[in-house]
Amino acid sequence: MFQLLKQIAIIGIKTEPAPAPDESLRVSKALSAQIAKRFHGALTIRHVDAGSCNGCELEINALNNPYYNLEGLGIRFVASPRHADMLLVTGPVSRHMELALKRTYDATPEPKLVVALGECACTGGIYGESYATLGRVSNVLPVDICVSGCPPTPLAIMQGILTAIT
Amino acid sequence: MKIGNLELAAEELPGAVPAWGAEVDASQWLAASIHAEASGGRLLALWGSDRSDGAKPRFAVHAALVVQPGIIVMTLPLSEETYPDVSNVFPAANRMQRAVFDLLGLRATVPADERKWLRHAAWPPDVFPLRKDFLGDGSAFESYAADHIDDYPFVSVAGDGVHEIPVGPVHAGTIESGHFRFSVVGERVLKLEERFGYKHKGVEKRFEQMDCVTGAKLAGRISCDSTVAYAWAYAMAVESACGGEAPSRAAWLRALLLERERVANHLGDLGFLGNDAGLAFGLTQFSRLKEDMLRLNAAIFGHRYLMDLIVPGGVLIDVSAEESSRIRAECDALESELLLLRSIYDEHPGLQDRFIGTGRVAPELAARLGLIGLAGRASAQAWDLRAQFSCSPYDRLDVHMATHRNGDVAARVIVRFDEITESLRLIRAILEALPTRATLAQLPTAAEGATGIGWVEGWRGEVFMALELGPAGAIRRLHPHDPSWQNWPLLEHAALGNIVPDFPLINKSFNLSYSGHDL
Ligand code: SF4
């Protein structure tokens, strides 16, 4: 126990400042004013893997490391879409995930913010559209914010999320 | 070549790994499998191909067996659309054979399990996407898909007080999509059945629209957590098909990247394993160390996960003397932090109480069902390509394989710690002995019909690729194989008798790929 506490004290606080929002990431402006008022920066997110290569998930997980400390900003990942304000969708939408993605969207209460995360989610990426994939997320759901990158860096993801709620 | 007591006419394949190719008939297909199994060999991969723009007859199935001298790739040309079932010899063949049927319509006869595997309801059961005459973009089946759902026949358990818990495909945490069906009494798991294929993206068909240069990008995106292993296996396959070779500095740099990938993933897993067992401190500490490493990757190699750096013919990066000393300094710092964190994990009674005995796969079961890679080594399955079939530079590095006999979460944690230590040693040794000269070579043009294989020990286990080229370097067929194919079925066994709340911990201790499996 002593070692553990000593380590915590030695390492100290590593969290770095969050990036500023970037309006260029916004693809739909309809909700922004209302959301800024309602959320005051606090937000719950449900991640949905619609068919990624798992790279985007690695960077979502990195958001909770001490450097980015997303929870420190009042932004949390939740276990159910019913508790979520935002869906963070990764990957091209595989045809086998279409139904699950739509059901997750239906289960999410309004205002149902949707962030398409990564090249695949934004454009279909290298997989494109085929017998197995429907391509970009906006082919299946209305998308508010697109964060490109393969995978997008944690800072880019944070910026996308923050842009959605400011 | 000899497989056990069976003599099989085989031809040595060019390339970095010891491999032989043999065309067989149906009885040899079965006999070779039986002899390989009896002499301690195992099934690495099983796939099919439609050769209508190449050889005759149109269809063939292929199996890669690991035997004492290396890999033997058997090709069985099919005059009808059936071939002998080997799932009773190698249980791991079960899902591979079902996937061959879903994608190509070639049926193993007569398997115990004929259910679909990768196909859900996006295309009809009599349509086979990997056939060459299948050109559809999928829109043709939209009305079929709209009328059908994936009515997968799960095996149900009956009895007093038994109930089912369906989990997924969308999970509670940030993980990939897949479905787990638990049959439980109270909290105890009586049966776990997996259902995958949700992430099927048509990767193999997509490869067939690419050539061997553009394919490298897709290879690195089959399962990004192992992007280096995949890119290397792919480059190896292309190089062996072309009869070319990467310069020796490139081989050493590839190993440097592969070991960095191993360390980064193991660090991440150790953090999550601590967290899933209730020690958030572990996640904070290990995720910090992993992030430090990713940042150094970005600074030196230009990508946090090292994507797109390995290409057929060599690598696109190099390491200067100054960068090399930064990496060495990182290894030193990491090593001392690791020592401390390991002693904290070891001495934490709460953590060890959750780890020890949880999710156990006994060595006998692991051997019978063919567990491989990291999870295999934690259940006494001593396979590590870097030590046993070492290609350059591992043949000069004398890799020490980490193994354990207990097969529980604790053993998989220990193997991870040991492997990080060994990888740090390897990284230092690589930087020490890095040969000079070029990092990229021009490859000779490959002949139409040339084949090649790649085989790399990624952090999770063996990544295998079998490639056949068409005219002008086009990809005629590429089959990528993730070690998760072998290991997912063992997770079903590991969960038995455990309580449901321990499942996330057990699952994480295997940390298998959905994307690499669903293709
Ligand atoms: S954007 Fe890149 S990292 Fe993300 S799912 Fe697509 S290929 Fe993978």
Per-residue pLDDT tens digits for A122-143: 999 999 999 999 999 999 999 9
Per-residue pLDDT tens digits for B247-289: 999 999 999 999 999 999 999 999 999 999 999 999 999 999 9
Nearest CA to ligand 1 atom 6: A120
User: Which residues on A lie below 8 Å from B284 (Cβ)?
Assistant: 65-66
CB distance A127 to B201 below 8 Å: yes
Domain C-terminal end among B74, B90, B114: B114
A51, A67, A95 ranked by CB distance to B291: nearest: A67
**Is the CB of residue A39 less than 8 Å away from at least one CB of chain B?**
no
The whole-number pLDDT of residue A33 equals 54
> What total number of domains does chain B contain?
4
B276 within some domain:
yes
Q: Are residues B416 and B297 in the same domain?
A: yes
What predicted TM-score, i.e. pTM, was given to this entire model? 0.94
B460 within some domain:
yes
Task: Find out whether the beta carbon of A92 lies less than 6 Å from any atom of ligand 1.
Answer: no
Q: Are residues B451 and B436 in the same domain?
A: no
Task: Give CA–CA dist B345/A113, Å, rounded.
Answer: 40
Domain C-terminal end among B88, B114, B140: B114
Q: Are residues B60 and B171 in the same domain?
A: no
Q: What is the CATH number of the domain that holds B326?
A: 1.10.645.10
Packed helices B503-510 and B484-494: angle between N→C axes, nearest 10 degrees: 160
Q: Which of A6, A49, A108 is most worth mutating to test chain B (most B CB atoms within 10 A of its CB)?
A: A49
Mean pLDDT of chain B: 93
The whole-number pLDDT of residue A35 equals 55
B253 within some domain:
no
The whole-number pLDDT of residue A37 equals 63
The whole-number pLDDT of residue B444 equals 87
Q: Are residues B336 and B190 in the same domain?
A: no
User: Which residues on B lie below 8 Å from A86 (Cβ)?
Assistant: none
CB contact under 8 A, A52 and B515: yes
Task: Find out whether the beta carbon of A90 lies less than 6 Å from any atom of ligand 1.
Answer: yes
Task: Find out whether the beta carbon of A88 lies less than 6 Å from any atom of ligand 1.
Answer: no
User: Is residue A39's pLDDT more than 90?
Assistant: no
Residue A80: which of A44, A38, A50 has the closest Cα?
Answer: A44
Parallel/antiparallel/unpaired status of strands B70-78 and B59-67: antiparallel
Task: Tell me how far the alpha carbon of residue A56 lies from the centroid of ligand 1, in angstroms.
Answer: 6
CB contact under 8 A, A65 and B291: yes
Residue B449: which residues within 8 A CB-CB, separation 6 or more? B54, B55, B468, B469, B470, B476
Task: Find out whether the beta carbon of B221 lies less than 6 Å from any atom of ligand 1.
Answer: yes
Buried-exposed string B355-376: b where 16+ CB fall within 10 A, e elsewhere: beebbbbebeebeebbbbbbbb
The whole-number pLDDT of residue A41 equals 64
User: Which residues on B lie below 8 Å from A151 (Cβ)?
Assistant: 224, 305
Confidence of residue B78 (pLDDT cuts 50, 70, 90): very high
User: Which residues on A lie below 8 Å from B348 (Cβ)?
Assistant: 4
Q: What is the CATH number of the domain that holds B37?
A: 3.30.460.80
Nearest CA to ligand 1 atom 8: A53
User: Is residue A28's pLDDT more than 60?
Assistant: no
3-state secondary structure of B45: strand
Task: Find out whether the beta carbon of A56 lies less than 6 Å from any atom of ligand 1.
Answer: yes
Per-residue pLDDT tens digits for B222-253: 999 999 999 999 999 999 999 999 999 999 99
Task: Give CA–CA dist B255/A38, Å, rounded.
Answer: 51
Task: Find out whether the beta carbon of A150 lies less than 6 Å from any atom of ligand 1.
Answer: yes
User: Which residues on B lie below 8 Å from A80 (Cβ)?
Assistant: 172
User: Is residue A29's pLDDT more than 60?
Assistant: no
Q: Are residues B367 and B474 in the same domain?
A: no
B518 within some domain:
no
Domains of chain A: 41-165 (3.40.50.12280)
Q: Which of B103, B127, B130, B221 is most worth mutating to test chain A (most A CB atoms within 10 A of its CB)?
A: B221
B183 within some domain:
yes
Task: Find out whether the beta carbon of B224 lies less than 6 Å from any atom of ligand 1.
Answer: yes
Domain that includes residue B186, residue range? 162-195
Task: Find out whether the beta carbon of A135 lies less than 6 Å from any atom of ligand 1.
Answer: no
- Count, in order, helices (H) and strands (E) of chain B: 17, 17
Please count the residue pairs, one from chain A and one from chain B, whose beta carbons lie less than 8 angstroms apart: 166
Write down the ipTM of this complex. 0.92
Parallel/antiparallel/unpaired status of strands B188-195 and B310-311: unpaired
Which chain B residue shows the shortest CA-CA distance from A98? B198
User: What dihedral angle (degrees, nearest 10) is formed by the CA atoms of B9, B15, B19, B24?
Assistant: -40
Task: Tell me how far the alpha carbon of residue B167 lies from the centroid of ligand 1, in angstroms.
Answer: 24
Residues in chain B: 519
**Amino acid letter, residue B376:** G
Residue A77 host element (H or E)? strand A75-77
Number of Cβ atoms within 10 Å of the Cβ of B495? 23
Q: Are residues B426 and B450 in the same domain?
A: no
3-state secondary structure of B456: strand
Q: Are residues B176 and B190 in the same domain?
A: yes
Task: Tell me how far the alpha carbon of residue B128 lies from the centroid of ligand 1, in angstroms.
Answer: 26
Q: Are residues B294 and B191 in the same domain?
A: no
Buried-exposed string B71-107: b where 16+ CB fall within 10 A, e elsewhere: bbbbbbbbeeebbbbbbebbbbbbbbbbbbbbbbbbb
CA-based nearest distance B351→chain A, Å: 12
Task: Tell me how far the alpha carbon of residue A113 lies from the centroid of ligand 1, in angstroms.
Answer: 21
Burial classification of residue B126, based on how many CB atoms lie within 10 Å of its CB (0-12 exposed, 13-18 middle, 19 or more buried): exposed
B492 within some domain:
no
Confidence of residue B441 (pLDDT cuts 50, 70, 90): confident
Q: Are residues B81 and B100 in the same domain?
A: yes
Per-residue pLDDT tens digits for B301-315: 999 999 999 999 999
B431 within some domain:
yes
Q: Are residues B234 and B322 in the same domain?
A: no
User: Is residue B184's pLDDT more than 50?
Assistant: yes
Q: Are residues B230 and B341 in the same domain?
A: no
Task: Give CA–CA dist A50/A63, Å, rounded.
Answer: 19
User: Token digits for B478?
Assistant: 């590429």
Per-residue pLDDT tens digits for B321-345: 999 999 999 999 999 999 999 999 9
CB contact under 8 A, B515 and A129: no
**Amino acid letter, residue B6:** L
Q: How far apart are the first and last CA of chain B?
A: 33
B154 within some domain:
no
User: Is residue A71's pLDDT more than 90?
Assistant: no
Domain C-terminal end among B442, B466, B494: B442
Which chain A residue shows the shortest CA-CA distance from B350? A1
User: Which residues on A lie below 8 Å from B343 (Cβ)?
Assistant: 3
CB contact under 8 A, B201 and A94: yes
Q: Are residues B56 and B102 in the same domain?
A: yes
